[in-house]
């Protein structure tokens, strides 16, 4: 093109700009922007699915993040999308543990957009469910992992535990018993037992289950953590200088130190009390200096644990009174020790006793839960 032609083209372009497109062209003008893929994560993310299971998994991902809405795109689908949407909403609310726990309502609607469908899920959550309940969900496969998950909650004095499993089938009573066992097994780490409730979703007979535990304490978590530190310091002070060379002698030394320090709380012992009563805790015995039988037993277990001596707390009755004491292991044999009764009736009456001797003294307990005690040692052997 010559110089004159280029000048003419430039003038024409300027005239087009000044006069406006609509005066030159007939019809609408469409502005086309480059395609930007949807966000792959975060609120409002869009998932792509191809079948029923992927559709359900996408909805459950939205629920776990407690999204109020979630978008799904379907380019090719194996099945009837419309009927599957109805089925997914029903399935999640009735049969899925997470959905049954978290939701009070759920809907889905599909919209045709040129070459694909866009599905929008809408979720209505139960008033009692918080984002922390779902973000803190722990998936476990064995009883050991469940106990570990519960222990981690109890030592931090958390208010809840949300546990999902497809392999652990417990009744409410069994689940609550595990919480109780963890407390009695760990007096050094858990200073006070929680009041515990558990719900199972969608129901106790389902194959896949969600266990939702709630824990209530007499004191704030910050206070309990300070108390736990005071208890550890008291335990360290009481076990100091105890020789572990002779196991039975060391057990007697610990019992004597405990008995010398603690006053028996006879008023509380005469009635019914919970394991949240201060006198029923190791803290009550070793820090405040007052305890019932259970407080003595928890304190004695804490002392034995600190020195690595195998022992357990036995919960039963002494006559008509609820009571607790200890079973210890010495040289491969097991024996009963009741520190609180050592304080009242003397060491020969309640130190290194057999099952038969304890039964004769009026003790009753579920023997199936504890090892048989029939070792040869006596108090005289330990004191000698």
Mean pLDDT for 330-341 is: 98
Token representation of residue 252: 């007697």
- Report the residue count for the chain: 384
Residue 221 pLDDT greater than 90, yes or no: yes
pLDDT at 326: 98
Answer yes or no: is 5 within a domain.
Answer: no
Answer yes or no: is 54 within a domain.
Answer: yes
pLDDT at 39: 43
Mean pLDDT, the chain, integer: 90
Answer yes or no: is 152 within a domain.
Answer: yes
Residue ending a domain, choose from 217, 237, 256: 217
% of residues, the chain, pLDDT over 90: 86
Residue ending a domain, choose from 194, 217, 240: 217
Asked if residue 235 and residue 104 are part of one domain, the reply reads no
% of residues, the chain, pLDDT over 70: 88
Answer yes or no: is 25 within a domain.
Answer: no
Answer yes or no: is 37 within a domain.
Answer: no
Q: What's the farthest any 2 CA atoms get from each other in the chain?
A: 126
Asked if residue 257 and residue 155 are part of one domain, the reply reads no
How would DSSP label each residue in 18-48? HH-GGGTS-S-----PPP-PPPSSSTT-EEE
Q: Is the dihedral of CA 242, 245, 249, 250 positive or negative?
A: positive
Answer yes or no: is 11 within a domain.
Answer: no
CATH number at residue 312: 3.10.620
DSSP 197: E
Asked if residue 374 and residue 230 are part of one domain, the reply reads yes
Residue 9 pLDDT greater than 90, yes or no: no
Asked if residue 245 and residue 210 are part of one domain, the reply reads no
Stronger pLDDT, 230 or 28, i.e. the higher one: 230
Residue 357 pLDDT class (50, 70, 90 cuts): very high
Asked if residue 372 and residue 350 are part of one domain, the reply reads yes
* Measured torsion, CA atoms of residues 142, 143, 149, 155, in degrees rounded to the nearest 10: -160
Q: From start to end of the chain, where are the E strands?
A: 46-48, 69-74, 103-113, 116-125, 138-140, 160-165, 195-201, 209-216, 263-264, 290-291, 311-318, 321-330, 333-337, 351-353, 363-364
pLDDT tens-digit readout, 72-119: 999 999 999 999 999 999 999 999 999 999 999 999 999 999 899 999
Residue 47 pLDDT class (50, 70, 90 cuts): confident
Asked if residue 227 and residue 210 are part of one domain, the reply reads no
Asked if residue 339 and residue 254 are part of one domain, the reply reads yes
Asked if residue 213 and residue 226 are part of one domain, the reply reads no
pLDDT at 14: 41
In which domain, by residue range, is 161 found?
A: 136-217
Most confident of 6-15, 32-41, 71-80: 71-80
Lowest mean per-residue pLDDT among 15-19, 144-148, 191-195, 272-276:
15-19
Q: String of b and e for 139-158 (b: at least 16 CB within 10 Å)? A: ebeeeebbbebbbebbbebb
Q: How many domains does the chain have?
A: 3
Residue 46 pLDDT class (50, 70, 90 cuts): confident
Asked if residue 236 and residue 151 are part of one domain, the reply reads no
Residue 185 pLDDT greater than 60, yes or no: yes
* C-beta atoms surrounding 235 within 10 Å: 21
* Measured torsion, CA atoms of residues 235, 237, 241, 242, in degrees rounded to the nearest 10: -20
Closest listed residue to residue 90, CA positions, set 137, 127, 126, 56: 56
pLDDT tens-digit readout, 112-170: 998 999 999 999 999 999 999 999 999 999 999 999 999 999 999 999 999 999 999 99
Enumerate residues 6+ apart whose C-beta is below 8 A from 365: 314, 315, 316, 317
Answer yes or no: is 16 within a domain.
Answer: no
Asked if residue 227 and residue 114 are part of one domain, the reply reads no
Residue ending a domain, choose from 175, 196, 217: 217
Cα(302)–Cα(254) distance, integer angstroms: 10
Stronger pLDDT, 140 or 15, i.e. the higher one: 140
Answer yes or no: is 33 within a domain.
Answer: no
Token representation of residue 37: 């893929």
Cα(51)–Cα(84) distance, integer angstroms: 9
CATH number at residue 186: 3.30.110
Asked if residue 120 and residue 155 are part of one domain, the reply reads no
| Token pair 């012992």 in the structure block, residue | 269
What SS3 state is found at 52? helix
Asked if residue 234 and residue 335 are part of one domain, the reply reads yes
Cα(260)–Cα(258) distance, integer angstroms: 5
| Token pair 């922390």 in the structure block, residue | 132
């Amino acid at each position: 093109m010559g110089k004159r032609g280029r000048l003419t083209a430039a003038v024409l372009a300027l005239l087009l700009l000044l006069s406006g497109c609509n005066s030159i062209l007939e019809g609408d003008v469409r502005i086309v922007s480059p395609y930007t893929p949807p966000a792959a994560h975060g609120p409002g993310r869009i998932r792509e699915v191809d079948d029923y299971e992927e559709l359900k998994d996408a909805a459950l991902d939205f629920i776990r993040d407690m999204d109020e809405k979630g978008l799904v795109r379907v380019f090719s689908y194996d099945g009837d999308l419309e009927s599957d949407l109805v089925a997914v909403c029903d399935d999640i609310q009735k049969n899925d543990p997470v959905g049954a726990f978290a939701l009070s309502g759920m809907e889905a609607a599909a919209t045709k957009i040129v070459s694909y469908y866009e599905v929008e899920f809408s979720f209505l959550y139960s008033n009692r469910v918080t984002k922390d309940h779902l973000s803190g969900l722990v998936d476990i496969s064995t009883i050991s992992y469940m106990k570990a998950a519960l222990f981690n909650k109890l030592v931090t004095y958390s208010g809840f535990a949300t546990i999902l499993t497809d392999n652990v089938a417990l009744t409410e009573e069994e689940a609550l018993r595990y919480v109780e066992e963890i407390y009695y097994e760990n007096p050094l780490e858990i200073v006070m037992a929680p009041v515990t409730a558990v719900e199972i979703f969608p129901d106790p007979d389902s194959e896949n289950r969600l266990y939702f535990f709630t824990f209530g304490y007499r004191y704030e978590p910050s206070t309990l953590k300070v108390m736990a530190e005071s208890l550890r310091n008291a335990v360290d002070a009481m076990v100091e200088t105890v020789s572990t060379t002779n196991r039975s002698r060391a057990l007697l030394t610990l019992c004597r130190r405990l008995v010398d320090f603690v006053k028996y709380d006879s008023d509380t012992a005469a009635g019914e009390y919970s394991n949240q009563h201060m006198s029923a805790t190791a803290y009550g015995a070793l820090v405040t200096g007052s305890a019932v039988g259970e407080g003595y037993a928890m304190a004695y277990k804490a002392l034995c644990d600190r020195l690595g001596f195998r022992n357990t707390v036995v919960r039963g009755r002494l006559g008509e009174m609820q009571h607790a004491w200890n079973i210890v292991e010495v040289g491969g044999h097991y024996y009963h020790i009741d520190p609180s009764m050592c304080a009242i009736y003397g060491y020969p009456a309640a130190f290194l006793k057999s099952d038969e001797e304890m039964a004769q003294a009026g003790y009753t307990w579920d023997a199936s839960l504890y090892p048989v005690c029939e070792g040869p040692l006596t108090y005289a052997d330990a004191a000698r």
